[in-house]
Amino acid sequence: MSVWSKSYTGLIGLAIVQENEVWKMGTEVNLGDLLSAITALLAVIISVFSYFLSKRRATIEHITVNRMDWIKEVRRLCGDFLLEFNRDPANVDKLKELYLRIQLYGYGKPYEALFQALEACIDHVDDTSHEKKEFTDKALLCAQQVLQDVWWRMKREAGISERADNKMKKLYDSRSKTSGA
């Protein structure tokens, strides 16, 4: 009889068995070794998944921070533009400079309405303050729409669904009503 016994098993669950001096592959499985192999495989899968998830989170965080800075800067520039437009007298060169700076931050349909509103303000810079109010209100609404669109886009990219966002909005609205705000 050989020194090999039937209880010797390999990591993959196959045993080398010697019976009557003939080598055969057995099907005996050592449960401990099998569990160790499955655990190691799961650990590798989880590590790879965690790596990609953390990479995605870092990218989203970077984009979110940049978008928040973008929102602050565009809000500041639009505010400066409207303040200058409503001065008496308004500095047309300053308005044109601010308009160009705002143009550097955007493109596409949402921005076209804002750019048209700002151009209308520049065209009506010599109007009375009462007449300027209509142009100020239009530019303000267009700026708010652009900023809101960017804010919504940022939330979607960060993984906040519209459903979750509506749920948070309802909660906020209900708390605002109860606090008297």
99 lies in a domain?
A: yes
* Confidence at residue 5, expressed as pLDDT on a 0 to 100 scale: 43
Phi, psi (deg, nearest 5) at residue 2: -85, 165
Residue 140 class from Cβ within 10 Å (0-12 exposed, 13-18 middle, 19+ buried)? middle
- Within 10 angstroms of residue 124's Cβ, the number of other Cβ atoms is 16
Task: Please tell me which residue, 23 or 97, carries the higher pLDDT value.
Answer: 97
pLDDT digits (tens, 9 = 90+) for 24-83: 455 566 888 888 889 999 999 999 988 888 887 887 787 778 888 888 999 999 999 999
Residue 13 is classified by DSSP as S
Q: How many domains in the chain?
A: 1
11 lies in a domain?
A: no
Assigned token pair, 53: 């998830």
71 lies in a domain?
A: yes
170 lies in a domain?
A: yes
What is the rounded (10 degree) CA torsion for 150, 156, 162, 165? Answer: -80
Contact between 144 and 68 under an 8 Å Cβ cutoff? The reply is: no
What is the distance between the alpha carbons of residues 50 and 116, in angstroms, rounded to a whole number? 47
The residue among 144, 16, 162, 8 whose CA lies nearest residue 71 is 144
Contact between 67 and 154 under an 8 Å Cβ cutoff? The reply is: yes
* Confidence at residue 12, expressed as pLDDT on a 0 to 100 scale: 40
Contact between 139 and 78 under an 8 Å Cβ cutoff? The reply is: yes
* Host domain of residue 116: 59-179
87 lies in a domain?
A: yes
90 lies in a domain?
A: yes
Peptide bond into 110 cis (omega under 30): no
pLDDT digits (tens, 9 = 90+) for 124-169: 998 888 889 999 999 999 999 999 888 888 877 777 777 887 787 7
What is the distance between the alpha carbons of residues 176 and 181, in angstroms, rounded to a whole number? 5
pLDDT digits (tens, 9 = 90+) for 86-123: 998 999 999 999 999 999 988 778 799 999 999 999 99
Contact between 128 and 136 under an 8 Å Cβ cutoff? The reply is: no
166 lies in a domain?
A: yes
4 lies in a domain?
A: no
